[in-house]
Amino acid sequence: MRYYVLDRGDQHSMDLSQQFHRLAQQKNFKLDAESPEIVVSIGGDGTMLHAFHTFIDRIPDIAFVGVHTGHLGFYADWRADELEELIELMSQGESEGLLNPRIVKYPLIELEIHKKSGNASFIALNEFTLKGVDGTVVAQVDINDITFEMFRGDGICVSTPSGTTAYNKALGGAMVHPTIEALQLTEIASINNRVYRTLGSPLLLPKHHHCDIFSRKEQRLLLTVDHLNFPVDDLISVRCQVSSQKISFARYRPFPFWDRVRNAFLN
């Protein structure tokens, strides 16, 4: 098995990374930074986001495994004291032709950003946000090329199903099971009075829909794709839609999504 490990960079995570390498060597796993089959993230959900974007060009060929070193993360199945069990299950899967693990695929968001200075494309695992730097954001929101609303407020968040448990939830958005191929658009502190009106509720768009966000005044904006920040002062529009690509997670034992939700927010 070809593998790679990416850790958070703190001492505990680095120690676990070295322990993983020692155990993997005993099972004759091959460390491969260029074309791994399995990428192991050791840290938190932020570490998994970093791992995802590190291997963004190889997403169809890689499965991810998360080991959390703090609170239970939504992308991490394993605790720090379970590395030996994880390695053993990975070794069994290798000998059985990868019948174990079960591969679970989650939807992603595809973004097309159009600026006066040029265009760019991104894929997000959690969410995309657009916020004002100096004040209120003014943006036109189109759904399937038809104007839906003129937004005024602090910003807009567009999340994947797995990302609905993160910033989207803090904004009052719904949590969506990641088997549902959709994106969720949630307003950030929208202005609603006699002059300015927005829907004021999160929107859930299916895979075959898209939304466009047009900048409607000269404004400095901060665009965030997962953990990556991009200051922009010449934005024309952003198109958001469910990506044709998906991220793959290697499940070496069952861990249902709603169990993750309960453990994170209720236990």
Task: List 222's β-bridge partners, or say none.
Answer: 131, 231
Summary count for the chain: helices (H), strands (E): 5, 16
User: Annotated binding residue at 127?
Assistant: yes
Task: List 227's β-bridge partners, or say none.
Answer: none
Tokens read off for 124: 């997000």
Left if phi > 0, otherwise alpha if psi is -120 to 50, otherwise beta: which for 116?
Answer: alpha
Annotated catalytic residue within 7, 15, 32, 45: 45
* CA-closest candidate to residue 73, choices 108, 100, 45: 45
Q: How far apart are CA 234 and CA 58, in angstroms?
A: 31
User: Annotated binding residue at 45?
Assistant: yes
User: Annotated binding residue at 81?
Assistant: no
User: Annotated binding residue at 50?
Assistant: yes
- Sole residue written with tokens 């209720």: 266
* CA-closest candidate to residue 163, choices 212, 208, 224, 84: 224
Q: How far apart are CA 68 and CA 70, in angstroms?
A: 6
Residues in Cβ contact with 144 at an 8 Å cutoff, skipping those fewer than 6 apart: 209, 210, 211
| CB of 168 closer than 8 Å to CB of 157 | yes
Left if phi > 0, otherwise alpha if psi is -120 to 50, otherwise beta: which for 226?
Answer: left
Active-site residue flag, 15: no
- Sole residue written with tokens 């190889």: 58
- Sole residue written with tokens 């969506």: 176
The phi, psi pair for 21, rounded to 5°, reads: -60, -40
User: Annotated binding residue at 189?
Assistant: yes
User: Annotated binding residue at 46?
Assistant: yes
Where in the sequence numbering do the catalytic residues fall?
45
Per the annotation, binding residues for NAD(+) are: 45-46, 50, 126-127, 152, 154, 189
Per the annotation, binding residues are: 45-46, 50, 126-127, 152, 154, 189
